[in-house]
């Protein structure tokens, strides 16, 4: 593990120096929160099962953050490191390849967590966000979802030949997931046809899991979501392990 | 000779990419404390060879020993003990110079203090600059600093002065000599024959994946049976015919005031100057043109064209 923590720390600093990278993680979810929060407020509403707009949206926005760090940030940073020769330079040192990958996972996880905490704190302070779940269950669901989407991001970086291709692939997957999963627009407003498509979006399962755990569902009620996300994690990791190239 | 005095031993190295035989049976040894240069045209197999030594690539055939280690099996231990400057590599755009050195130092068991390296490479004033904001020459110097951050026993420098101005190049040569004076071994590739001639104890010339020549720069030049030319200006009445009879002279011509005498042998200049002096010829602006490593390189790699890239 020599050099691992220092690498993770430097990577965090670098991440924060790139304002464009932080936009989808930190800024965009907050913009949505304040936009919809200012329109609808957070009054309990029968439409949301007796909860407020912000109560239902906040766990969905967590899913949005996870989708963006996984499909965009992870895919782009790993593939551009490869394209520029950063991975090559690291490979000529005694730094273990696993440590290099683990540092990317840690950095992206911390950034996802930071984005999530910032969002929850703002929703709580400004709109009196209500929480009825078990914190550890939510943390589990959040971590599983994040790791699954990181694996998906790695998968994109592995199959894409260039950083540009990884970028485009990431966008092509991210935006349908973003709009059709309920991560931005509440699912309750979807017509039947869109609801049908929505089931095939991996991010839908993150939204369902986090929204469920947020209002106190037991984990047992979300076996499907957990299974889908664990499957994505396993498949993403297995294919990346085979297809990933250092240069 | 005991094994420990060899920093590098390479026997029948072979590496193909698809049907292209990039390296095809290369063998040589590099002694500890040597400055060893590898030259060759683009696509000759230089980078492939150096990457097999560094453990960045694995050969298809042959035996490679670096510091007594097999780069394939003991890659991790090898990377602890060597320093590597790669031709194509980068750091994250937003990583600062000092962070890079601090970070790379943390990868090694026994890192050298990196502040003096900044000074030696003349990038102290850039310590807080991000990688993307450095000039080509500054990036190059940073990479050389990174190659030295573990105080390596053996340093690989792939095109170390490409992109540097003449002043920076000279100071890089001094740095390489200083590394050797501390008992370390330097393996470098270069496109500049002048650099190989000034810096290297021995030079390996490769082309099309084969060894073409391996010797000291002086011996390589001597081995090239090309002519030495003596040029001078003489008074209008001078007749060069008498010079043609001198030992070693193959040609003596006059064109207006300019005289060219061509021939071979270490004593050619002495013979010609003595003859001119004895005959009372008044001559000015005498200079000689001798073959250098450039000529050796061109002669040895004559048939290869301009095709091919780095590989």
CB A26 within 8 A of CB A62: no
On the CB side of A208, how many CA atoms lie within 13 Å of its CA? 21
Please, what's the b/e burial string for A196-231 (b: 16 or more CB within 10 A of its CB; e: otherwise)? eebeebbbbbbbbbbbbbbbebebeebeebbebbee
Mean pLDDT of chain B: 89
Per-residue confidence (pLDDT) for residue B221, from 0 to 100: 83
Residue A246 and residue A87 in contact, taking contact as beta carbons nearer than 8 Å: yes
pLDDT of residue A50: 87
Q: Do B3-222 and B227-290 have matching folds?
A: no
Specify the CATH number for B227-290; select among 3.30.1330.40, 3.40.50.80, 3.40.50.620, 3.30.70.100: 3.30.70.100
Instruction: Please tell me whether residue B253 adopts helix, strand or coil conformation.
Output: strand
- Chain-chain contact of A85 with B90 (C-beta, under 8 angstroms): yes
Q: Report residue A54's pLDDT band, with 50, 70 and 90 as the boundaries.
A: very high
CB pairs under 8 A between A and B: 63
* Residue A23: band (very low, low, confident or very high) from pLDDT cuts 50, 70, 90: confident
pLDDT number for residue B102: 96
| Residue from A74, A203, A66, A200 nearest A139 by CA | A66
Q: Rounded CA gap, A70 and A82, in Å? A: 17
What is the side-by-side order of every strand in the sheet holding B228-234? B249-255, B258-263, B228-234, B283-289
- The answer to whether B79 contacts chain A (CB < 8 Å) is yes
**How do strand B6-17 and strand B61-66 relate by DSSP bridges?**
antiparallel
pLDDT bracket for residue B4 (50, 70, 90): low
pTM for the complete prediction?
0.84
Confidence check: pLDDT of B34 > 90: yes
DSSP secondary structure string for all residues of B254-288: EETTEEEEEE-STTHHHHHHHHHHHTT--EEEEEE
pLDDT attached to residue B118 = 93
How far apart are the CA of A84 and the nearest CA of chain B, in angstroms?
6
Beta-carbon contacts of B89 under 8 Å, excluding residues fewer than 6 positions away, are A85, A86, A88, A89, A92, B143
User: By the CB < 8 Å criterion, does A81 face chain B?
Assistant: yes
Are B293 and B193 within 8 A, CB to CB? yes
Q: Indicate the residue of A81, A89, A94 with minimum beta-carbon distance to B76.
A: A94
Put simply, whether B112 touches A (Cβ < 8 Å) is no
Nearest CA among A61, A62, A40 for reference residue A51: A40
Interface pTM, i.e. ipTM = 0.87
CB atoms within 10 A of CB B155: 24
B309 has pLDDT over 60? no
Residue A178 has pLDDT above 70, yes or no: yes
Q: Which residue ranges make up each domain of chain B?
A: 3-222, 227-290
Q: Assign domain B3-222 to a CATH class.
A: alpha beta
Q: Indicate whether B68 pLDDT > 50.
A: yes
Mean pLDDT of all residues in B10-29: 93
- What integer is the mean pLDDT of B256-277? 88
pLDDT in tens, A119-175: 999 999 999 999 999 999 999 999 999 999 999 999 999 999 999 999 999 999 999
CA-based nearest distance B8→chain A, Å: 17
Q: What is the CA radius of gyration of chain A?
A: 18
In which band, very low, low, confident or very high, does the pLDDT at A1 lie, cut at 50, 70 and 90? Answer: low
Q: What pLDDT score was predicted for residue B250?
A: 87
């Amino acid at each position: 593990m020599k050099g691992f923590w220092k690498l993770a720390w430097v990577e965090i600093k670098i991440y924060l120096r790139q304002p464009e990278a932080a936009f989808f993680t930190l800024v965009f979810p907050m913009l949505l929160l304040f936009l919809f929060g200012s329109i609808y407020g957070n009054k309990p509403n029968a439409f949301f099962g007796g909860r407020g707009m912000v109560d239902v949206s906040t766990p969905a926005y967590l899913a949005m953050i996870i989708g963006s760090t996984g499909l965009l940030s992870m895919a782009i940073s790993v593939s551009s490191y490869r394209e520029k020769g950063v991975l090559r330079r690291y490979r000529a040192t005694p730094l273990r390849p696993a440590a290099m990958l683990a540092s990317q996972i840690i950095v992206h996880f911390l950034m996802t967590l930071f984005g999530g905490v910032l969002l929850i704190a703002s929703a709580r302070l400004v709109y009196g966000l209500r929480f009825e779940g078990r914190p550890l269950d939510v943390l589990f669901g959040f971590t599983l979802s994040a790791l699954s989407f990181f694996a998906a991001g790695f998968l994109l970086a592995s199959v894409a030949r260039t950083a540009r291709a990884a970028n485009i692939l990431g966008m092509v997957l991210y935006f349908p997931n973003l709009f059709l999963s309920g991560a931005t627009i509440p699912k309750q407003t979807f017509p039947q046809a869109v609801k049908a498509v929505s089931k095939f979006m991996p991010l839908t399962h993150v939204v369902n899991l986090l929204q469920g755990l947020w209002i106190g569902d037991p984990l047992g009620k979300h076996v499907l979501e957990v299974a889908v996300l664990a499957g994505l994690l396993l498949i993403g990791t297995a294919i990346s392990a085979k297809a990933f190239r250092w240069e | 000779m005991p094994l420990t005095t060899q920093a590098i031993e390479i026997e029948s190295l072979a590496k193909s990419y698809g049907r292209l035989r990039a390296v095809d049976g290369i063998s040589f040894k590099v002694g500890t404390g040597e400055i060893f240069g590898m030259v060759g045209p683009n696509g000759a197999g230089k980078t492939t060879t150096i990457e097999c030594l560094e453990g960045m690539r694995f050969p298809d055939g042959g035996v490679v020993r670096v510091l007594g280690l097999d780069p394939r099996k003991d890659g991790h231990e090898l990377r602890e003990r060597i320093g590597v400057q790669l031709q194509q590599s980068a750091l994250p755009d937003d990583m600062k110079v000092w962070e890079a050195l601090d970070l790379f130092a943390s990868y090694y068991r026994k890192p050298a203090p990196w502040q003096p390296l900044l000074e030696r490479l003349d990038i102290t004033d850039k310590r807080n600059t991000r990688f993307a904001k450095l000039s080509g020459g500054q990036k190059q110097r940073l990479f050389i600093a990174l190659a030295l951050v573990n105080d390596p026993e053996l340093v690989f420098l792939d095109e170390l002065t490409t992109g540097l101005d003449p002043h920076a190049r000279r100071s890089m040569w001094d740095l390489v000599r200083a590394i050797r004076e501390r008992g370390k071994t330097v393996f470098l590739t270069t496109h500049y024959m002048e650099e190989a001639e000034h810096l290297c104890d021995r030079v390996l010339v490769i082309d099309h994946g084969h060894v073409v020549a391996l010797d000291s720069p002086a011996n390589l030049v001597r081995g090239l049976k090309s002519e030495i030319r003596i040029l001078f200006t003489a008074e209008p009445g001078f007749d060069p015919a008498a010079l043609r009879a001198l030992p070693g002279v193959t040609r003596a011509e006059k064109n207006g005031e300019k005289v060219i005498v061509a021939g071979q042998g270490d004593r050619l200049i002495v013979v010609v100057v003595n003859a001119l002096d004895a005959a009372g010829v008044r001559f000015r602006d005498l200079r000689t043109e001798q073959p250098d490593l450039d000529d050796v390189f061109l002669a040895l790699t004559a048939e290869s064209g301009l095709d091919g890239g780095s590989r």
